Structure 1
């Protein structure tokens, strides 16, 4: 399909949508009719989506006492975020990634439990913030979907060598009982995938001007929102607390030995020029970590097997196991759809619970030794879990290697996510229809 045909089809769909909307509003509301503001491959971004995101950022900034850049700069950042989300949602459609209502309900229940409130109180807080509960549910669903898309595409780009693990284990041993953590502010002046010398020079000059403004007392949060192309631009560039071993290598080397409020950069990478601010720092004492050994049976709903039937199937398994009429290992080998554990009788081995998806981790935390869970729904399907045992990790060499692998994975996942998003953005057909956005 040519770009002209693509644009025609998308605009045609937008006009049909607008016609349907027109039939449902009064004549007095015609002036506020929604419109298509951006074409994103086979999708569109509506003006209402941009306005909603900008207004949300403004409200959050006001509540936290943060300074804001111009409306134009804020709008540009909002459009970029919506473009990436739109592209991820389109990819999710192509990959067949969906989040069912039961899975969404479970996630929202976990959010409420994490905040020590019930669902009714969560609903009240959402509506007090000016959002309908239905809209909140769909936003959570979108976050789950984009997270799945990102993990599926980025995970296969990551390779960690034994030498990398050994090197990091040596570093952990050298650092002893304390690990440095930094809360970083981040501004990225981005470069295209194949930047020309002129583009590189222009980006470097922009980065130098930003550093100059910061050294002269300009607000970091405001400049990040206005100037950064980083994933946390709309949050004022706040990357949160990061272990020195889990942040990108470029950052880890640059912040080593620096103190609170230090400005670092510009630092050049494939993504562009980075400017960092150490908002805060702290030492982290290494302590024993609880590990769990568990086994599970995974049933994946399908066109043939509904969510309800999958849950009922596991309830029947649980009843049979309690009555002593079934063997867990045999059930797992015959029915579990987790290829990594089914042949082992469902056994997952000793692991830090944090490696599991939140719903699975939460279920494990409530189990006593040898106890069976109720069937739980995660992004992978329905699980029946049995806790085999718990133990405190004694920081053996194997544990250090596992920790090193996870730190390296987190570091590379962060780096590869930025690269993947940039490549996807560069390959997409994007057209801004509103002249003020050009």
Structure 2
């Protein structure tokens, strides 16, 4: 009997030791307000950046510089997710699966093919799902907090409309690399001078042939630092005004800067240009029925309800317009039988826009989950708008909004970061 007890005790000790060793593999690396960042999260992000750099044949800075940038990225992410929790923003599993299905469809792949490609890259599908969920949540948080900070005057719209008119509705596009040598909050003259000296040093290194991507990852305070400073393609009127004035008519591979703003000193590289393109607007005419899940109506029942409507309409046993008037919970369109009129698909939330992109005129979607609820969508027609005066005004507004939204997003993220309690725990 004593032998059995000792064996059980030894087994418990070994089990505890095993668990302790397993726990020691991870630790809290950063405290961020009410949340934490684990060492495993930092390592995973660094590993992802290295994998992407290897695939793109890019050089990387030291592991220490890479870790610093990864921590900053995770701090920003953590703060946004904490805010989302306070705001009650959640993404349901059906909505998440719908989004991932749309991602796969946009890549001309099935869900099985998407899973296979993730496995080939060494990425867990469960981790991928949660990454997508967090991206959707952070997008909602940014839209909710930044949109109200954007103010556009009629004079700004008129000025841009005049410029578009002058250019004959043709716009140059630039792909820019961006390095930001940032200021601390409430910088002193010494802080500004030190930042200027660092920016001048960066320009000197770049002019002598140093790799832009590597320096951006190591030194930039910009939101796209881990992407090597790549801002992607920007319309000349959609990029920050400071940038537009500086890069206009610049050749590919030109370096521009340092340019001072309230955030710090900016250094730009013209990676590529796309020449002159005619501005046309793709519009869709569609209608939908919106059903919102509730305590009474579950997600599955709401989805099944719309699937039933689709079959009834296709069989000629029900009228879409009448169903929308009776059941749709979108007050803006229900009285019109669900008719949304002609609109730029970019005006719709991503899930709705993606569903429309898969439809031919006359076709019905499967039930689609968006942040608003479940939709049954019918695409009625598509057209290319040639930019009437109204269209030009809307185009000008959207360009200005995109630019200001990007600028205010950077400001909002910086303010949130400056106000946060952050403690990096050294190992």
After TM superposition, the score normalised by the length of structure 2 is 0.90
- 1:285-342 residue CA offsets vs partner (Å, 9 max, x unmatched): 2154431122222222233321111112223433454566655455445543334434
Instruction: Tell me how many residue pairs correspond in the alignment.
Output: 414
Alignment match, 2:72: 80
Alignment match, 2:39: 47
Alignment match, 1:5: none
Between 1:341-350 and 1:271-280, the stretch displaced more is 341-350
Shift of the 27–324 alpha-carbon distance from structure 1 to 2, 3 Å rule, reads: closer
Alignment match, 2:194: 202
1:293 equivalent among 285, 288, 294: 285
Gaps of 5+ in 2: 1-13
Between 1:98-107 and 1:344-353, the stretch displaced more is 344-353
Alignment match, 2:101: 109
Q: Is the 8 A contact 1:193 1:271 kept in 2?
A: no
Query: What secondary structure is seen at the aligned counterpart in 1 of 2:149?
Result: coil
Give, in whole Å, the separation in 1 of the partners of 2:67 and 2:343: 44
1:126 aligns with 2:118: yes
Alignment match, 1:172: 164
Alignment match, 2:8: none
Alignment match, 1:356: 348
Alignment match, 1:17: none
Instruction: Map 1:376-391; keep pairs closer than 5 Å.
Output: 376-391=368-383
- Structure with bigger gyration radius: 2
Task: Tell me the C-alpha RMSD between the 2 structures.
Answer: 2.2
Q: For residue 41 of structure 1, report the CA deviation from its aligned partner.
A: 0.6
Give, in whole Å, the separation in 1 of the partners of 2:345 and 2:361: 15
Alignment match, 1:235: 227
Alignment match, 1:282: 274
Q: For residue 196 of structure 1, report the CA deviation from its aligned partner.
A: 2.3
Q: For residue 423 of structure 1, report the CA deviation from its aligned partner.
A: 0.9
Q: Is the 8 A contact 1:66 1:221 kept in 2?
A: yes
Alignment match, 1:148: 140
Alignment match, 1:252: 244
Instruction: Map 1:406-425; keep pairs closer than 5 Å.
Output: 406-425=398-417
Shift of the 345–430 alpha-carbon distance from structure 1 to 2, 3 Å rule, reads: same
Q: Is the 8 A contact 1:154 1:416 kept in 2?
A: yes
1:218 aligns with 2:213: no
Give, in whole Å, the separation in 2 of the partners of 1:206 and 1:136: 37
Between 1:22-31 and 1:130-139, the stretch displaced more is 22-31
Give, in whole Å, the separation in 1 of the partners of 2:15 and 2:73: 31
After TM superposition, the score normalised by the length of structure 1 is 0.88
Give, in whole Å, the separation in 2 of the partners of 1:414 and 1:23: 52
- 1:139-166 residue CA offsets vs partner (Å, 9 max, x unmatched): 1111111111111111121122222111
1:26 equivalent among 11, 18, 22: 18
Query: What secondary structure is seen at the aligned counterpart in 2 of 1:156?
Result: helix
1:395 equivalent among 358, 380, 387: 387
- 1:11-66 residue CA offsets vs partner (Å, 9 max, x unmatched): xxxxxxxxxxx967727945852110100011000011111111111121122111
Q: Is the 8 A contact 2:59 2:214 kept in 1?
A: yes
Alignment match, 1:185: 177
Between 1:83-92 and 1:366-375, the stretch displaced more is 366-375
Alignment match, 2:263: 271
Q: Is the 8 A contact 1:333 1:346 kept in 2?
A: yes
Query: What secondary structure is seen at the aligned counterpart in 2 of 1:160?
Result: coil
Shift of the 368–70 alpha-carbon distance from structure 1 to 2, 3 Å rule, reads: closer
Q: For residue 193 of structure 1, report the CA deviation from its aligned partner.
A: 3.8
Query: What secondary structure is seen at the aligned counterpart in 1 of 2:287?
Result: strand
Between 1:373-382 and 1:407-416, the stretch displaced more is 373-382
Query: What secondary structure is seen at the aligned counterpart in 2 of 1:102?
Result: helix
Gaps of 5+ in 1: 1-21
Between 1:105-114 and 1:220-229, the stretch displaced more is 105-114
Between 1:283-292 and 1:269-278, the stretch displaced more is 283-292
Give, in whole Å, the separation in 1 of the partners of 2:337 and 2:287: 8
Query: What secondary structure is seen at the aligned counterpart in 2 of 1:98?
Result: coil
Between 1:367-376 and 1:113-122, the stretch displaced more is 367-376
2:54 equivalent among 46, 62, 65: 62
Give, in whole Å, the separation in 2 of the partners of 1:99 and 1:378: 9
Between 1:300-309 and 1:159-168, the stretch displaced more is 300-309
Shift of the 74–252 alpha-carbon distance from structure 1 to 2, 3 Å rule, reads: same
Between 1:419-428 and 1:391-400, the stretch displaced more is 391-400
